[in-house]
Structure 1
């Protein structure tokens, strides 16, 4: 799809997970340029990564096994489960993906349209299929903001530290860190494979962090609350090369109300996570498994919302 066609189709932008419409009559040229028109920094991420020396494990899937809830190949296993509770206004539904990885580099990033930059979006399922993913979730929507440390697939894409991030290293360990105290080059030199920049951190040392229900996420419009019971996507770390992703559905009375930050953190501690970190949520929250979106995104009555990036395992 051309940049022009994408721009016309996206006269909406995100404010802390909420879509805000831009009408043609009221939107200034500046706003359209800043929030709608594509700004491509890297036009071919695959070529950029190859030229930068990115390496990673490619799974041998010739003997992959699969059921409705589990997929495994070459020592990597993805097990997906659905959790439902309550009824009426208290109904809740969320999806848990337990990942045991051959090594950390099995978990990769896919980019919308194979490009890196701002305002470039595709549906999670579209990016997943383009990368032959067997499992995927939406990422941190790096493309909505011009700041944030972004190392993906072992390559530095953005060096503009602004907040607390999470770094996944090639040796399998994971760290919460202050982006403003380091550089993308230093992270790569120290073995970082992927960094994500959204937040807040939810769990540290196996404990729910205090104050997370009061955190506001910085956006291009200043700090914006993402509190209350909302759809969520987040990642947790149980042990070396053992991760868990949770996607919570929400904004649908009788099906799923969503969760607060503290409730989300408590889900992760119940799963045994020692560390957990919040990713882009709201209408972006999407889990894809074996060819299908398995949750119910809250965007526009259940359709996916375009995002800039996904985390996936190729199958």
Structure 2
């Protein structure tokens, strides 16, 4: 949906409404504001829980690529995680949008303290430390004791300060932390569709702030933006409406993912 640049897609004034799920650590956003051409989905995870485990896409064991491409739903099923979101930008090394093909991750990825992909100094990343705490920062400045690292583009929010810009509108994927660092937020905002405009990075920052974030990182967006949830019965469902090659509902096979395993 083409939207005039003069029309700013700000979040609603009312606070977001969160619904409980079958997992005590997890809440799901009831909905985006229907008065705006903004749609998507968001989850909030209680980081104080001892029943959370983070998982990243494993390395390509053949050595042809750094990882193998997979749809986010495929990753969730293969890794038996309850939550999964697309991750870093990447460069396909084979036919686009085919699963199980070698991929070069653009930016840092660390799995269990092992460096899988080198960082890009101008980009930022999510870091999960060995004590379970989460940090954001430059890919050129990895914190000590990092267990997992997932590279993105740039910070959207840092200490409550909006860093996003008035760039082009696209589907967006973002991950963020509350000010007390006790809640992790995962969100996707749909776009490139008749009734979904996408967001600028500035607008995304404001929407992440509306959700409850004090810090937020811009992950790979566009047709990659996908958030999935296992509903407690073993069924993995898409929470947003991804778009690939102009086709709404078509899920893209992407380079890597962040998964969260919730242990009952």
1:175 aligned to which of 135, 157, 180? 135
Q: Contact conserved, 1:113 with 1:127, CA < 8 A, in 2?
A: no
Structure 1 segment 150-189 matched on structure 2, within 5 A: 150-166=109-125, 167-181=127-141, 187=143
Counterpart of 2:22?
71
Counterpart of 2:96?
none
Q: Contact conserved, 1:164 with 1:179, CA < 8 A, in 2?
A: yes
Q: 1:274 to 1:114 in 2, by over 3 A?
A: farther
Counterpart of 2:169?
229
Q: Contact conserved, 2:89 with 2:105, CA < 8 A, in 1?
A: no
Counterpart of 1:252?
193
Secondary structure of 2:73's aligned partner: helix
Deviations 1:59-96 (A, max 9, x none): xxxxxxxxx961326xxx12122423345xx5211211
Q: Contact conserved, 1:118 with 1:143, CA < 8 A, in 2?
A: no
CA distance in 2, matches of 1:71, 1:180: 39
Segments of structure 2 that go 5 or more residues without pairing to the other structure are 1-18, 93-103, 231-235
Q: Contact conserved, 1:112 with 1:308, CA < 8 A, in 2?
A: no
Q: Contact conserved, 1:109 with 1:312, CA < 8 A, in 2?
A: yes
Deviations 1:99-132 (A, max 9, x none): 1133597122134877773573111101110011
Counterpart of 1:242?
183
Segments of structure 1 that go 5 or more residues without pairing to the other structure are 1-67, 215-226
Counterpart of 1:204?
158
1:131 aligned to which of 79, 88, 108? 79
Q: What TM-score, normalized by structure 1, do the two folds share?
A: 0.62
Q: Contact conserved, 2:88 with 2:105, CA < 8 A, in 1?
A: no
Deviations 1:138-162 (A, max 9, x none): 1114455565222134332233443
Q: 1:134 to 1:231 in 2, by over 3 A?
A: same
Secondary structure of 2:206's aligned partner: helix
Q: 1:310 to 1:69 in 2, by over 3 A?
A: farther
Counterpart of 2:238?
293
Q: Contact conserved, 1:112 with 1:309, CA < 8 A, in 2?
A: no
Q: 1:119 to 1:112 in 2, by over 3 A?
A: closer
CA distance in 2, matches of 1:85, 1:278: 21
Q: What TM-score, normalized by structure 2, do the two folds share?
A: 0.73
CA distance in 2, matches of 1:310, 1:121: 10
Q: Contact conserved, 1:105 with 1:170, CA < 8 A, in 2?
A: no
Residue 213 in structure 1 maps to residue 165 in structure 2: yes
CA shift, 1:248, in A, is 0.6
Q: How many residues align?
A: 222
CA shift, 1:172, in A, is 4.1
Q: Which has the higher contact order (CA 8 A, sep 6+)?
A: 2
CA distance in 2, matches of 1:272, 1:81: 11
